[in-house]
Amino acid sequence: MFSSLADKLVLSNGVQMPGIGFGTWQVPTDSTLENAVSAALKLGYRFFDTAQIYGNASAIGRGVLLSDLPRAEIFISSKIWTSHRSYDGVMRAFTDIIEQLKTTYLDQLLIHWPATQGEPMIWQSQNAGTWRALEDLYEQGAVKVIGVSNFLPHHLVPLLARARIRPMVNQLEIHPGYPQFAAVNFCFKQNIAVQAWSPLGRGGLTHHPLLIELGEKYGVSPALIALRWSLQHGFIPVVKALDAEHMKSNLDAFGLTLEDEDMTRLDTMQQVAFSGLHPDTVTF
């Protein structure tokens, strides 16, 4: 799966999603991000991932406007923060997001966290109300893809029971050191596509002996081993890079194929480079 940058993942609603995302978390909101987005577009990136809490939508919008590409060729995703997790909150947030991005619609909108603080009935109700707003935006054509982020099976089950439109995407922390196969397999059985945030384990995997060994075997960097692992599993990695050389090198993952035995070794390595952000214990 994903042997070239041109390959797309067809979602349950027929929308075609690019095979790699450009992450923007903790990227400066000045001209640094604006120029990075512009450079990424020139290299072939088409999927840009942001979030309400990142506070960088305006810079992304400026970077997109610097290109001559039609808006329809660019896939822009954002996420609703926990402070806006209600029907009215989503509608207010959506208006702010598209104004900052200087666009009239979003390609993808996700609920950022399941926000499980408190009794289950409370967060289940919050998720249901938030999801209704996403469903309405989808039916209005204001958003092309709706989904969730950091939702585990026990968060998804009650949401699926109430949803009239099923989530098309779940963005999870996924990398060889934290594969979350139980959540991934649940999503795949429900025909929910999986995006991988922190696919390099916040850089922690680049120093791991196994990835270094495999990098030497294939003549690539440990980072490319981790990215190829995601692509080969059918995950869409959302990876951050600021300089053009780094952006370009990440795309080399499409020309790589890992042998089955090496995929198995990566699948079964010990847990490492976990962010510590578990959706049931985060305090935001």
- Give the catalytic positions in this structure: 54
CA 101 to chain centre: 18
Residue 129's identity, in one-letter code, is G
Query: Are 3 and 254 contacting, i.e. CB atoms less than 8 angstroms apart?
Result: yes
Whole-angstrom distance, CA of residue 203 vs CA of residue 205: 6
Angle at 45 between CA 230 and CA 202, to 5 degrees: 45
Q: Which residues share a beta bridge with 10?
A: 16
d(CA 264, CA 258): 10
207 has binding-site annotation: no
Helix (H) or strand (E) holding 169: strand 169-173
Which parts are annotated binding residues? 112
Residues contributing to the annotated binding site for substrate: 112
